[in-house]
Amino acid sequence: QVQLVESGGGLVQAGGSLRLSCVVSGRSFNVYGLGWFRQPPGKEREFVSAISGTGTTTSYADSVKGRFSISRDNAKNTGYLQMNSLKPEDTAVYYCAAVRAYSSTYYRDWEYLYWGQGTQVTVSS
Give the mean model confidence (pLDDT) for residues 8-35.
94
Burial class (CB in 10 A: 0-12, 13-18, 19+), 29: buried
Give the mean model confidence (pLDDT) for residues 59-63.
98
pLDDT at 108 over 90: yes
Q: How high does pLDDT run on average in the chain?
A: 96
Sheet of strand 3-7, all strands in order from the earlier edge strand to the far edge: 3-7, 18-25, 78-83, 68-73
- pLDDT number for residue 26: 81
| Gyration radius of the chain over CA positions | 13
- pLDDT number for residue 30: 87
pLDDT at 102 over 90: no
Instruction: Name which of 47, 50, 54, 38 is nearest 94 in CA terms.
Output: 38
Please state whether beta strands 119-124 and 10-13 pair in parallel, antiparallel, or not at all (unpaired): parallel
DSSP 125: -
pLDDT at 44 over 90: yes
Q: Phi-psi bin for 66: left (phi > 0), alpha (psi -120 to 50), beta?
A: left
